[in-house]
Chain A
Amino acid sequence: MQTIPTRTRNHLRLGEVNWGAYSIYIVNILAIALLALTRKNFLRYANLYSLVFGLSMEFLLVLATTFLLIMGEVDLSIGSVFAFAGVFTGYLMYIPELPIWVSIPITLCATGLIGLINGVLVVRLKANSLMITIGTMILFRGIADGLINYLGGITYADEYRAIVGFKLLGVNFTIFLMLAAVLVLEYLLLNHAAFRRLFYIGSNTLSARLYGVSVGRIKLSVFVASGVLAGMAGILAASRSGQTVWNTGQGLEFKMITAAILGGASLFGGKGSIVKSILGLLLIAVILNGLVMFNIDPVWTNVVVGVVLIIAIFVDTRINREKVEY
């Protein structure tokens, strides 16, 4: 009898590839290719550098958002905390004239405390983080506005403004920071026991609790991390702008959620990747960059981002629809 060699194992057929998992890569490549082919200016070093530099100012926020979404939680206060951190550091250096190496730690402790408040309210009151953080979002926007009002239109201290300009090998350190953080955190997210617990919590909180995962403690620490990360991003952004600016970071929280969802995270938890969230953020940046390249008025950016998010969710539900049911 003749035997026919079978090639079923380890042999991926096209139809079996989970395209949903790669869609963010594909869409990014398509968008970049489109701009590269149609706009000469797009591929210029200065343009690409400013794109990446912009990302490196915001990526800390998408880290926080991704960690929380994996657990099925959100923190809508990050945009306000971002604004608060920038102006609070400026205040500390302006009025009590504290040195920068004291002001920044104090600010980060303060934003960590905000995260702790969010976390305690969510964990102890078992409240919906969406609701709670809407509360703290409004509260800290108010405090940030109050501080700006008190300070008036000042220019921040020189040391403060200098942070963001710090360069290594002619490249802004924030870009190195981003690359390192993304690689390390993605590895940890996939392999580190503590980070894996985020996925268990997001997949089924009750099951996680049954199997000894300290759900409350972990949620609390991630909310604290969210506050600190938002604080760091806010300090960098204020350093860059160099002065008090009204409405700093308004709407950033939704931009970050959009980026993370483009990168495969879900509001229901259990899913998410740092690399893909950053790629989601990159896609938004590329699209906004494209608008500029095509001379479209920036007032339309929200329209575009909104449409992209809706399309992403539509495509995601189509592709990831369950193939096997029982």
Chain B
Amino acid sequence: MAENPILLLEGISKSYGPVKALKEVSFAIRQGEIHAILGENGAGKSTLVKIIKGETRPDTGKLVFEGNEIKVADPLFANSIGITMVHQELTVFDELTVAENIFPNNIFRTKLGLIDRRRLRQQSEEQLALFKLQINPAEKVANLPLAEQRIVEILRAIALKRKLIILDEPTAGLNESETRILISLVQKLREEGITIIYISHRIAEVLEISDRITILRDGNYISTLPATEVSTAELIRLMVGREVDLLYTKKRQSGQTPGDCLLELEQVGKKGFVHDISLKLHREEILGVFGLQGSGVEKLPQILYGLDTCDSGIVRVKGQVLRRRDTAAMLKKGFIYLNDNRKRAGLFLDMSTAENMACPRLDKLSRNSILKKKEMFRYTDDFIRKFGIVIPSARTKPKNLSGGNQQKLMFSVCLGTEPECVILNEPTRGIDIGAKAEIHRFILELPRSRTSVILFSSELPELISLCDRVIVLRNNAVVGELRGDDINEEQMMSLAAGG
């Protein structure tokens, strides 16, 4: 067995105040392997990654890279010895070309010190060809789809001769075919002798791609296993420390007569985004919307919630056509929207959790416009308990919470408005199985409290297990509606892909 560690972690511990993020974690990453790190949110993955890439220093323990102990916590130093990370949030230069992104810093120069464009183009073409990628090196990166942008970022790491690349959720937000391209790229990297640390919540993907898997739980090192010798169920058991009902079964028995109509779209269109969308949402139902990237699923939720306007068609809210259908009006009508990108919008990361909770309810939490602070905190504490948010106090800022807890908080902010309809956009993106199961439970409870749900999701199992009805989009239009047993992966995919 090739026991040739590129990176050794020995007794790494790290605390943030009273929170012990990592406790005496030790394991080795071998030269040239794909090493996955699995764990629920808050298990310590992100802290561990930060330590490896030199962003923070461990309290105790040491890192040994290629036989030398790393003593300084400095990302630039880590880069210089060959460690780099490809983030979930991209760090490409949007306005530059693919070639310039792969070889940043103008490394090819002519004798006069000008950029050697010919060599730049040649080298990037070679690089792209090596991985059998069909991307035009002269294209501006902003014009590429998400998957290719991420690939460009990985190629940059390779071009800079990095030896250890940390990939953080590299397939998040990618569709099936893009995921395949990315996975094959990662496998080619291994052939080139590059070591990969692979962070992902998608267990099937991790099992497929990685050589070995390290599991963390509550800051503890649990074990490192070869991917070939472990099953999905086993991994989940190790991650959560208990058995989880993993099967994607239909959890909702539909067939009840639907209530009256809450929201009705009649041939709604917005040039370049969606056209001719007609749909009806009834009370107490969960309506799913599915579509591949670019099918209109990006714009439709924004139009529904009044964040964006449509330029044709009619929208009736509870039978009424609103004169000014902005978010404030929709909120007043009992609608609320859960954003898909919580880092961009959906929370106020620098304000207290209580203030986050209060935002859409300022009027109800105040008397004569003066906020009742006590009530605000009581209200927040209620939701923290109800949704099991792990948080020191209602004064904590959301930026100090893990992804899963942020998501639950965002959920609480929305449900605190006592909505009649919630528009959920990717409610479980980028969170671990435990938190996901909880959020699914919350969603299923909504119709029971007379709240309707419109669920935009790219995860088929999620739609299958939660929805009464699923509308499928393709080419910016509705191409089908599925009910009951017709809501299955094959039907949805064939409608969405046009097969």
Residues of A that sit less than 8 Å from B by CB: 191-194, 196-197, 199-200, 203-204, 206-214, 270, 322-326
Interface size class on chain B is 35 or more
A266 nearest CB neighbor, chain B only:
B350
Contact A209 B327 (CB under 8 A): yes
17 contacts between A and B (CB under 8 A): A193-B371, A196-B358, A199-B351, A200-B348, A200-B359, A204-B345, A206-B345, A207-B339, A207-B346, A207-B359, A208-B359, A210-B307, A213-B328, A214-B326, A324-B400, A326-B47, A326-B401
| Inter-chain pairs besides A204-B345, A207-B339, 9 sampled, C-beta below 8 Å | A192-B366, A193-B370, A203-B350, A208-B359, A209-B307, A210-B305, A211-B360, A212-B331, A270-B348
Contact A204 B327, CB 8 Å, known A212-B332, A326-B46: no
For B344, list chain A residues within 8 Å (CB). 206
- Looking at A193, A322, A326, the one whose CB has the most chain B CB atoms below 10 A away is A326
- 0/1 interface trace, chain B 437-460, chain A, CB 8 Å (1 if under): 000000000000000000000000
Q: How far is the CA of A231 from the CA of B360 in the complex (A)?
A: 34
A199 CA to B16 CA in the complex, in Å? Answer: 27
- Residues in B with CB closer than 8 Å to A213 are 328, 359
| Structural contact, A191 and B370, CB atoms closer than 8 A | yes
**B493 within 8 Å of A (CB atoms):** no
Contact B345 A212 (CB under 8 A): no
For residue B431, give the distance in angstroms from its CB to the closest CB of chain A. 14
A269: min CB distance to chain B, Å: 9
Residues of A within 8 A of B369 (CB): 192-194
| CB atoms of B46 and A212 under 8 A apart | no
* Listed residue (A197, A204, A212, A325) with the most chain B CB atoms within 10 angstroms of its CB: A212
Inter-chain contacts of B56 with A (CB < 8 A): 325
The answer to whether the Cβ of B162 comes within 8 Å of any Cβ in the partner chain is: no
Complex CA gap A192/B366 in Å reads 8
Chain A residues near B370 (CB, 8 Å)?
Answer: 191-193
Output the least CB separation between A101 and chain B (Å). Answer: 31
Q: Does B345 lie within 8 Å of A210, measured CB to CB?
A: yes
Interface hub of B330, B331, B351 (most chain A Cβ within 10 A): B351
Who on chain A is nearest to B344 by CB? A206
Q: How many angstroms from the CA of A207 to the CA of B337 in the assembled complex? A: 10
Query: Shortest Cβ distance from A316 into chain B, in angstroms?
Result: 15
Instruction: Report the minimal beta-carbon distance from B363 to chain A, rounded to whole angstroms.
Output: 6
* B333-357 to A contact mask, C-beta < 8 Å, 1/0: 0000101000011111111000100
**Least CB distance, A197 to chain B, in whole angstroms:** 7
Chain A, Cβ-Cβ closest to B402: A326
- For the complex formed, measure the closest distance between the CB of A291 and the CB atoms of chain B, giving whole angstroms: 37
Indicate if B362 sits at the interface (CB-CB under 8 A): yes
Minimum-distance CB pairs A-B, first 9 = A206-B345, A212-B331, A211-B360, A203-B348, A193-B362, A212-B328, A211-B359, A207-B345, A193-B369
| Any A CB within 8 A of the CB of B274 | no
Partner of A204, one of B348, B366, B371: B348
Q: A270 to B348, alpha carbons, bound, how many Å? A: 9
Task: Report whether A197 and B345 are in contact in the complex, using a CB–CB cutoff of 8 Å.
Answer: no
Of chain B, the residue at the smallest CB distance from A199 is B351
Residue of B nearest to A270 (CB): B350
Known: A193-B366, A326-B399. A210 touches B348 (CB 8 A): no
User: Bound state CA distance, A305 and B305, in angstroms?
Assistant: 48
Chain B residue numbers with a CB within 8 Å of A191 are 370-371, 373
Q: Is the pair B347, A207 in contact by a Cβ cutoff of 8 Å?
A: yes
**Contact assessment for A211 and B331 in the assembled complex, using a CB-CB cutoff below 8 Å:** yes
Residues of B within 8 A of A323 (CB): 17
Q: How far is the CA of A233 from the CA of B69 in the complex (A)?
A: 63
- Confirm or deny: B413 has a beta carbon within 8 angstroms of a beta carbon on chain A: yes
Chain A residues near B349: list those with CB within 8 A.
Answer: 203-204
Q: Smallest CB–CB gap between A304 and chain B, Å?
A: 32
A201 and B400 CA atoms in complex are apart in Å by: 20
Contact call B371/A212, Cβ cutoff below 8 A: no
> Is A212's CB under 8 angstroms from B348's CB?
no
Residues of B within 8 A of A210 (CB): 305, 307, 327, 337, 339, 345-346
CB-CB nearest in chain A for B56 = A325
CA distance A206 to B345 in the complex (A): 6
Per the bound structure, the CA–CA distance linking A212 and B327 in Å amounts to 5
Return the chain B residue nearest A194 by Cβ.
B369
Query: Chain B residues with Cβ under 8 A from A193's Cβ?
Result: 362-363, 366, 369-371
Closest to A8 in B: B18
Contacts of B50 in A (CB 8 A): 325
Q: Is the CB of A192 within 8 A of B359?
A: no
B38-58 CB contacts (< 8 Å) to partner A: 46-47, 50, 56
- Residue of chain A at shortest CB distance from B46: A326
For B366, the chain A residues whose CB sits under 8 A away are 192-193
Taking the closest CB of chain B, its distance from the CB of A120, in whole angstroms, is 17
Shortest C-beta distance, A70 to chain B (Å), equals 12
User: How far does the alpha carbon of A212 sit from the alpha carbon of B324 in the complex, in Å?
Assistant: 13
Verify A324–B16 contact, CB threshold 8 A. yes
Q: What is the 8 Å Cβ interface bit string for chain B, positions 367-402, against chain A (1 contact, 0 not)?
A: 001110100000000000000000000000001111
